[in-house]
Amino acid sequence: MPFSYLSQQLRDMRSGARKLVDVRFTPGALMLQVIRQTSATDAEAAARYFSGLRYTKRVKVIEADRIPQPVAHGFVYVFERSRPKVSLGERIIEGPDDPERFEMRDPRTTYTAYVPVGSIVRGAALAKGNGSARPPCALCHGPDLRGTSIGPPIAGRFPTYLFRQLYAVKSGTREGTTATLMKPIVAGLSRQDMIDLAAYVGSLGP
């Protein structure tokens, strides 16, 4: 993500403009705790470092009706492939392909995101917008959703991350400059719409 975007998000977290979408979301709670204990100088240095890294997509998005049974393990789902498959329903389930590598914090760990059948095509249609009420995503995020000076790059990001941001903006737990621009975009989106958009955008190449 660009430096300007990252630094703004850290400022929003520090000011309280970005809150937890759900009190049970431990990673988000830990992030808020860390930024409150980090100086502005150190936060800026961290944003500059991370903005200099090249994003490598490590998640594959698969449409499915039934998926390997997901079991909550810490902050992630582990797929128990020896158990009978379960219905995915209208949700996104993501998890590491190799839980052991994930636990070792191997940055090369790959992930699979299971999304509802048909969600990628539906998301592509939604991303085109519907006129003045909801302009196309490309207007701010660029033709390939790889970012502009207005909107950050979102193509190929993790679908659960994308959904959380849409949901946070719509629910009002994510405020700030960038959220203000997004509010009218997400206002008319249903939960299913947000799942479909996240599936489509996550399926793209970065």
* 48 & 65 share domain: no
Residues 6+ apart with CB under 8 A from 159: 59, 61, 92, 94, 113, 115, 198, 199, 201, 202
Residues 6+ apart with CB under 8 A from 162: 154, 197, 198, 201, 202
* 61 & 157 share domain: yes
Segment 56-80 mean pLDDT: 94
Q: What percentage of the chain reaches a pLDDT higher than 70?
A: 100
Segment 99-117 mean pLDDT: 95
**pLDDT value, residue 52:** 95
Domain count, the chain: 2
Is the pLDDT assigned to residue 200 strictly greater than 90?
yes
User: Of the candidates 16, 36, 53, which is a domain's last residue?
Assistant: 53
* 112 & 186 share domain: yes
Residues 6+ apart with CB under 8 A from 202: 59, 61, 113, 115, 156, 157, 158, 159, 162
**pLDDT value, residue 130:** 86
Segment 48-73 mean pLDDT: 95
- What's the per-residue H, E or C state across the chain? CCHHHHHHHHHHHHHCCECCCCCCCHHHHHHHHHHHCCCHHHHHHHHHHHHCCCCCCCEEEEECCEECEEEEECCEEEEECCCCCEECCCCCEEEECCHHHHHCCCCCCCEEEEECCCHHHHHHHHHCCCCCCCCCCHHHHCCCCCCCCCCCCCCCCCHHHHHHHHHHHHHCCECCHHHHHHHHHHCCCCHHHHHHHHHHHHHCCC
Segment 118-129 mean pLDDT: 96
**pLDDT value, residue 117:** 98
* 61 & 48 share domain: no
- pLDDT-based confidence at residue 28 (cuts at 50, 70, 90): confident
Is the pLDDT assigned to residue 177 strictly greater than 80?
no
Q: What is the mean pLDDT of the chain?
A: 92
* 29 & 122 share domain: no
Segment 167-193 mean pLDDT: 88
Segment 69-81 mean pLDDT: 91
* 38 & 66 share domain: no
**pLDDT value, residue 75:** 80
- Tell me the whole-structure pTM to 2 decimals: 0.90
Of 108, 110, 119, 100, the closest CA to residue 158 belongs to 110
Per the structure, the complete domain to which residue 28 belongs is given by 1-53
**pLDDT value, residue 136:** 93
**pLDDT value, residue 176:** 80
Q: pLDDT tens digit string along 128-173?
A: 998 777 899 999 999 999 999 889 999 999 999 999 999 999 988 8
Is the pLDDT assigned to residue 22 strictly greater than 90?
no
